[in-house]
Amino acid sequence: YYQTLEELAEDYYTAGLYDKSEEIFKKLIDIKGHKITSLKKLMQIYEYTREWDKALSTIEKLNNIDPLNEYKKNIPHYYCQISEKHIIDNNLEKAELYIQKAETTKSNSSRIIFVSIQIALKKEDLKKALRLYKTLCEISDLGHQILLPSLINIAKQNNQLSLVSEVIKEICNWR
């Protein structure tokens, strides 16, 4: 019976009926022999549907029974996704909260720094943004290029273009 249910959930998943698939996999979590598979499939659903809060709560359950699961490395990514959503909604307090959670994962992800710079720019904290920008330049060949126009715009608005200029000169001298 449970094997048939799992196959039905897989068919729903394949057909893109994620809500129906999710519903079945949630029921199968409590059935011995289906728990890990169901949690992993729920992770795939939540990643695809960009439901990061659900992904985080599911990964917590998965970590309790399979501490070496392949989704564990994605936790900082989920926090960054949620943080970016809060930046868009202009809720910088929550954005910072989720970035702090991402930092506690001890990940060396450049994305955490990237999102932190976005928050600093939204808050018009140019000094913090530039400090983080220098760090990002050391570890990422692309992220800093994406953020440079925003840094320049904020600097212009606040009549602090010389600060950005100094940082760029300093970075150019590294190489």
- pLDDT for 38 equals 95
- How many angstroms separate the Cα of 77 from the Cα of each of 60, 101, 153? 15, 11, 27
- pLDDT for 143 equals 80
- pLDDT for 175 equals 59
Q: Does the pLDDT at position 139 exceed 90?
A: no
Q: Does the pLDDT at position 147 exceed 80?
A: yes
138-156: average pLDDT: 88
Q: Scanning the structure block, which residue is given the tokens 């998965």?
A: 62
* Distance between CA atoms of residues 16 and 31, nearest Å: 24
Q: pTM of the entire structure?
A: 0.84
The CB density around residue 89, as the number of other CB atoms within 10 Å, is 10
Higher pLDDT, 143 or 57: 57
140 pLDDT band, cuts 50/70/90, is: confident
Q: Does the pLDDT at position 27 exceed 90?
A: yes
- pLDDT for 106 equals 84
- pLDDT for 33 equals 87
- pLDDT for 117 equals 96
Q: Does the pLDDT at position 174 exceed 80?
A: no
Q: What's the one-letter identity of residue 117?
A: I
C-alpha 175: how far from chain center: 30
DSSP-assigned letter for residue 108: -
The CB density around residue 34, as the number of other CB atoms within 10 Å, is 19
- pLDDT for 122 equals 94
Over residues 110-122, the pLDDT tens digits come to 999 999 999 999 9
Over residues 49-91, the pLDDT tens digits come to 999 999 999 999 999 998 888 898 999 999 999 999 999 999 9
